[in-house]
Amino acid sequence: MATLKIPHPVPSAAEDAEHLRKAFHGWGTDEKAVISILAHRNADQRKEIMATYEELYKENLIKRLESETSGHFERAMYRWMFGPGEREAIFANVALKEKVDWVVIIELSCINSPNELLAIKKAYQMRYKLSMEEDVASHTSGDFRKLLLGLVSTYRYSGEEINASLASSEAKILHDAIKKKTFDHDEVIRILSTRSKAQLNATFNRYKDEYNTSITKVLRNALNKSGTDEDSLTRVIVMRAEKDLLVIKEMYHKRSNESLDQAVAKETSGDYKKFLLALIGN
């Protein structure tokens, strides 16, 4: 369900490295050649190309790409080059350092499986020499800290077993907190940040049965919509192209009357546009 398209047969890492080197050569960069290679290799293949490139030409491919590209294209390409764990660690660090962009932190803690989140936290520690939890905690405060820190810290249970009576009692806690406005932040945060996905689904279904409204509807109305900027667009496409972007594309099309390709083509330009469209499988 990925959108990434890899040629058959795929060139060797040495061939790719050589073609990239040529694309960088002389005045100006052959961005088209760069995209035609790197937007069509998976994480393992990109890693091998990086190692081979460094071996052959004694320079770091990512640094060279940074000097050869600019703007949104540079940022997208830079993010694309890393494996999933390290890439999301970089996203998280940028989100925490520049301003606390909570959408990024919520996204990475909720979309990834517990073990994927753990891999991101390990990559974060390797790269920044401290834990993601420390950075989340020291850049936030109050209820907001409790929620974000809870989402990032918990190593959730990832199995399917659920407790039905718990689903019922916690649906009531959520209902009382939201509908009756006796807003008990601590309990809402506790439930959302510690329960497993399966248990939360059971609780939300129970909520729907019991109170005739879906909790996601309630929550969606309560959340501010953040405008779509290039950074989020890059983030979603780069993160999901090797994973489940095909499903996202289909859902996007159903909900918005235009295809994701059309929307991206309309909103972006230049090499950045070509690169994203290549990753989307256009």
Binding-site residue positions: 24, 26, 28, 68, 225, 227, 265, 267-268
Structure tokens at 50: 């990086």
Is 155 a binding residue for a copy of itself by CB under 8 A? The answer is yes
Minimum distance, C-beta of residue 165 to a copy of itself, in the bound complex (Å): 13
Is 164 a binding residue for a copy of itself by CB under 8 A? The answer is no
Give rounded-to-5 percent helix, strand, coil for the chain: 70, 0, 30
The only residue of 150, 218, 244, 253 in contact with a copy of itself, by rule CB under 8 A: 150
Quick one: which segment of 64-72, 148-156, 223-231, 250-258 binds a copy of itself (CB under 8 A)?
148-156
The b/e string for 28-44 (b: 16+ C-beta within 10 A; e otherwise) is ebbbeebbebbbbbebe
Number of residues that bind a copy of itself (CB under 8 A): 33
Alpha-carbon distance of 238 to 189, in angstroms, equals: 30
| 222 burial level (CB within 10 Å; 0-12, 13-18, 19+) | exposed
Alpha-carbon distance of 130 to 174, in angstroms, equals: 34
3-state secondary structure of 16: helix
Alpha-carbon distance of 264 to 124, in angstroms, equals: 30
Task: Please identify, using beta-carbon distances, which residue of 164 and 247 lies nearer to a copy of itself.
Answer: 164
The b/e string for 102-115 (b: 16+ C-beta within 10 A; e otherwise) is bebbbbbbeebeee
Minimum distance, C-beta of residue 181 to a copy of itself, in the bound complex (Å): 21
Site for a copy of itself in 97-136 (CB under 8 A): 118, 121-122, 125, 129-131, 133-134
Is 190 a binding residue for a copy of itself by CB under 8 A? The answer is yes
Is 194 a binding residue for a copy of itself by CB under 8 A? The answer is yes
The only residue of 72, 156, 249, 274 in contact with a copy of itself, by rule CB under 8 A: 156
Site for a copy of itself in 197-216 (CB under 8 A): 199
Alpha-carbon distance of 62 to 54, in angstroms, equals: 10
Is 161 a binding residue for a copy of itself by CB under 8 A? The answer is yes
**Terminal Cα-to-Cα distance of the chain (whole angstroms):** 15
Is 232 a binding residue for a copy of itself by CB under 8 A? The answer is no
Which residues of this chain interact with a copy of itself, rule CB under 8 A?
A: 118, 121-122, 125, 129-131, 133-134, 137-138, 141-142, 145-146, 149-150, 153-159, 161, 163, 186, 190, 193-196, 199
